[in-house]
Structure 1
């Protein structure tokens, strides 16, 4: 499972970091940064929650 981020769509809300700070971070401008290439086992629910809570729909999951 992989998570993708469209940094052009991100509105710097930070919900992803609040839900899964081991998977996401924000750069100096507040834009999402994906920290891992593949979602570690056991972190899938956090990744799905982050995607669900993203107000700009900048995040997506690819299996």
Structure 2
């Protein structure tokens, strides 16, 4: 699974980091970012839930 975050859309709500703290974090400005090594997978069901929880749908997932 490939995980990507649209930085232009993200508003820094933090729902992704709360839902899947092993996949997402927030940068110094409060915007979402992936933990190192998570761009190409490893998110599993929690990453899917985090994408659903994003209030502006800034997270996209695609199966490779």
Q: TM-score normalized by structure 2?
A: 0.87
Q: Which residue of 2 aligns with 1:11?
A: 11
Q: Deviations over 1:5-42 (max 9, x none)?
A: 001110110000001111001011111111212222xx
Name stretches of at least 5 consecutive residues in structure 2 with no aligned partner. Answer: none
CA contact (8 A) 1:23 1:39 kept: no
Cα distance in structure 1, aligned partners of 2:41 and 2:19: 14
CA distance in 2, matches of 1:37, 1:50: 14
Give the structure-1-normalised TM-score: 0.88
Once superposed, which parts of structure 1, at least 4 consecutive aligned residues long, lie more than 3 Å away? none
Q: Which residue in the other structure is 1:38 paired with?
A: 40
Q: How many residues align?
A: 61
What is the RMSD computed on CA atoms of the aligned residues? 1.0
